[in-house]
Chain A
Amino acid sequence: MPTRVLVPSGVLGLGFDRKALARGVAMKPDIIAIDGGSTDSGPYSLGAGESKYSRAATKAEWRELMQARAEAGVPLVIGTSGTCGADATVDWMYQITLELAEELGQSLKIARLYCGQPADRVIAALEAGRVTPLSAAPEISADLLASMTNIVALAGAEQVLAALATGADVVIAGRTTDTAIIAALPLSRGDLAGGAWHGAKIAECGALCSTHPMTGTILVDFDATGFTVEPMALEAACTPHSVSAHMLYENSDPFQLYEPGGYLDVRGARYTALDDRRVRVEGSKWVPGPYTVKLEGARAAGYQTTILAVLRDPRYVDLAQDWVDGLTAHCVEAIAGRTGMGPDDYSLEFRLIGVNSALGAMEKRVGQPVEVGVLGIITATSQAKATEIGKLINPFVLHHPLTPNEELPTFAFPYSPATTNRGALYEFALNHVMRLDDPMEAFRLEVTEVSHARG
């Protein structure tokens, strides 16, 4: 059965064109699906179990989508709620939804799909040989798993469908694959599986697959032989090039995409312009395989304090690396002498902004900067240690001389205190898949009904 999916934008919190959304709603979609996250901003969100986007921005956009849902009379699904899709951010999104239901006077059935994994479950799976590393995966052990602050499994179409099958008006999902929330309904209605996953991949970043990425809203029609994609902003167009080029985006392999239960192969896909705004895609293939779900996990790898100084003195700018080498040696000695702390307790690194701070040793160009920012990063085994080291080296970063016999220089500190305590440094610690017998065995559904209908 043909299925029409409306994707308001690539992620909740980044904005969308209101007219495009309204146009999409008028096209009578069968479902509205939006992504709520990504690993793209780094490990902090998953490590801390916090959304990266502001609550106010999220609530303002979710309000519009809840209104669009009421108008369209179809389910609204958000995947990877609160950036990382941890249980805590599902709860955060659920609270926002409850507030909005009351403010908008909506009566709703809300399904929450929890994707958080207790460490014990993953440890048991690891010991049973049911956890497999993907390419470039870090080493793991039971101890490492137990030290992770959050582990999530990426839900696929099966878990999203289970949530939809509750009859929910709104599905708030934890970590899902970017595509699952879009592919789920077409798959359940018997549309071509290759087309469902491929169309979902094309639409998951909203209008990024069109000529006007910032307009957000995309409509995809799925059917038995493929899919058709159309941007909802009138000024935007999908072209065979804009659509097929999207398979390159943030994808290590542009032809194969692994999902729970198989992979998508788009080598045989044909992209055809139906007119100057719509593209038809056929020939994508779904290849079923073992049922595995990808795992993501984060752990605190240390605690950080940073310090920033700016060199403007031309002699120091020219000799910035020599200066930093001397400063580092001086700091290490002073830290050892005054606190007894050594390499097991902390690391200290200075990065030269204006020289090679973005690319480090890979940098090949040498320039003549007017000034150089010196970013000192202390990573220690506790925040108390990092803070203490920051205070200890503060005067050296301010006054360290290039040679012992010159008047003490004073560099530019942009703020007071010069140090910033950053808290935990989280790191991504899993790039593995876990084998499941039943897709729901590692996931949990909660269904709630709220009633605020205005009489």
Chain B
Amino acid sequence: MRVGEIAKKVRSKNAGPFWVTVDIFCGSAQAYDRLVKGLSTAAVAQVYSQPEQLLKRFDIADLNVIKVSFPRPVVQGSRDDRDMHGAQWAHLLAELEIDG
């Protein structure tokens, strides 16, 4: 199944001009458990073509949220930036197929 079919919502946004952050709102403890187990940080890194060690991951059980932040490969608004707010990046993760 895809991440976006298990989670209630996947959101991405800049966290300042040099970082982007992706929030996976799982919506229930069950979906949260499934995604915490099924979605590896390595898989997220691969979706965004980033080295895994650059990713900061927070599994927040109280909110049923998985949060992943990493430095923007292109700085917000620089010549090669294609998405000023980084908000479309979420869909790449939402469309990722995971096992389980």
* A contact set with B: CB distance below 8 Å: 39-44, 134-138, 241, 244-245, 248-255, 301-302, 347, 349, 351, 357-365, 377, 379, 425-428, 431
Which 10 A-B residue pairings sit nearest by Cβ, starting from the closest?
A: A136-B71, A42-B77, A252-B69, A252-B15, A428-B17, A136-B18, A43-B77, A252-B19, A358-B88, A427-B78
Closest Cβ of chain B to A305, distance in Å, is 13
Query: Beyond A361-B49, A365-B95, is A254–B83 a contact (Cβ under 8 Å)?
Result: no
Between-chain CB contacts (< 8 Å), 17 pairs: A39-B16, A39-B17, A42-B77, A136-B71, A136-B72, A241-B63, A250-B15, A250-B16, A253-B69, A347-B79, A357-B82, A361-B49, A362-B92, A365-B95, A427-B75, A427-B77, A428-B18
Chain A residues, CB < 8 A from B84: 41-42
Establish whether residues A39 and B76, one from each chain, have CB atoms under 8 Å apart when the complex forms: yes
Complex interface: chain B residues within 8 A of A135 (CB)? 18-19, 71
Residues of A within 8 A of B80 (CB): 349
| Given known A250-B13, A250-B15, contact A359–B92 (CB-CB < 8 A) | yes
Assembled-state Cα–Cα distance A138/B71 (Å): 11
Minimal beta-carbon separation of A265 from chain B (angstroms): 14
B32 CB within 8 Å of chain A: no
Residue tally, chain B, CB below 8 Å to A: 37
Which A residue sits closest to B71, measured CB to CB?
A: A136
Q: A72 CA to B15 CA in the complex, in Å?
A: 35
A253 and B77 in contact, given A359-B82, A365-B95, A431-B16 (Cβ under 8 angstroms): no
Min CB distance A368 to B, Å, is: 17
**B98 at the A interface (CB under 8 A):** no
Question: If the complex has contacts A137-B18, A245-B63, A250-B15, are A302 and B49 also in contact, measured as CB distance less than 8 A?
Answer: no
8 Å CB interface, B44-100 against A? 47-49, 56, 58, 60, 62-63, 65, 67, 69, 71-72, 75-80, 82-85, 88-89, 92, 95
Q: Which residues of B sit under 8 angstroms from A254, Cβ to Cβ?
A: 58, 60, 67
**Most chain A CB neighbours (cut-off 10 Å) among B17, B19, B75:** B17
Task: State in angstroms the CA–CA spacing of A344 and B84 once bound together.
Answer: 26
Can you name the residue of chain B whose Cβ is closest to the Cβ of A296?
Answer: B17
Selected from B75, B83, B95, the residue in CB contact (under 8 A) with A428 is B75
Q: Is the CB of B16 within 8 A of A244?
A: no
Partner of B23, one of A248, A301, A349: A248
A213 to B16, CA, bound (A): 21
A359 touches B17 (CB 8 A): no
- B79 and A44 within 8 A (CB): no
A245 contact from B14, B65, B85, B88, Cβ within 8 A: B65
Q: Contact between B16 and A360 (Cβ–Cβ < 8 Å)?
A: no
CB contacts (< 8 Å) of A42 on chain B: these are 17, 76-77, 84
Known A43-B76, A347-B79, A379-B79; judge A251-B18 contact (CB<8 A). no
- Asked whether A138 lies within 8 Å of B92 as measured between CB atoms, the reply is no
A255 with B19: CB separation less than 8 A: no
Question: Which residue of B is nearest A427, CB measured?
Answer: B78
In the complex, given contacts A43-B76, A254-B67, A360-B82, what are 19 additional A-B residue pairs having Cβ atoms less than 8 angstroms apart? Answer: A40-B14, A42-B17, A44-B77, A134-B18, A135-B71, A137-B18, A245-B63, A248-B67, A251-B15, A251-B21, A252-B19, A253-B56, A349-B80, A351-B82, A359-B89, A364-B95, A427-B75, A427-B78, A431-B17
Q: Which of B49, B77, B92 has the most CB of A within 10 A?
A: B77
A361 to B, closest residue via Cβ:
B49
Q: Which residue of A lies closest to B91 (CB)?
A: A359
Contacts of B85 in A (CB 8 A): 40
Interface-centre pick from A137, A251, A363, A364 (highest chain B CB count, 10 A): A251
- Are A301 and B79 interface neighbours, CB within 8 A? yes
Which residues of chain B are within 8 angstroms of A250 by Cβ–Cβ distance?
Answer: 13-16, 21
Find out whether the CB atom of A252 lies under 8 angstroms from the CB atom of B56: yes
Q: Of residues B18, B60, B75, B76, which shows the largest number of chain A Cβ atoms within 10 Å of its Cβ?
A: B18
Chain A residues whose C-beta falls within 8 Å of the C-beta of B83 in the assembled complex: 358-359
Instruction: List residues of chain A with CB within 8 A of the CB of B76.
Output: 39, 42-43, 428
Write out the residue numbers on chain A whose beta carbons fall within 8 Å of the beta carbon of B18: 134-137, 428, 431
Contact partners of B62 in chain A: CB under 8 A: 244
- B60 closest partner in A (C-beta): A254
Contact (Cβ within 8 A) B16 A252: yes
Distance A363 CA – B48 CA, assembled complex (angstroms): 9
Chain A residue contacts of B56, Cβ below 8 A? 252-253
Closest to A137 in B: B18
- State A431–B19 Cα separation when bound (angstroms): 11
Q: Mark B8-31, 1 if CB is under 8 A from A, else 0.
A: 000001111111010101000000
CB distance from B48 to the nearest CB of A (A): 6
Whether the Cβ atoms of B79 and A302 lie closer than 8 Å is yes
Cα distance A363–B92 when bound, in Å? 7
Contacts of B13 in A (CB 8 A): 249-250
Residues of B within 8 A of A137 (CB): 18
Residues in A with CB closer than 8 Å to B49 are 361-362
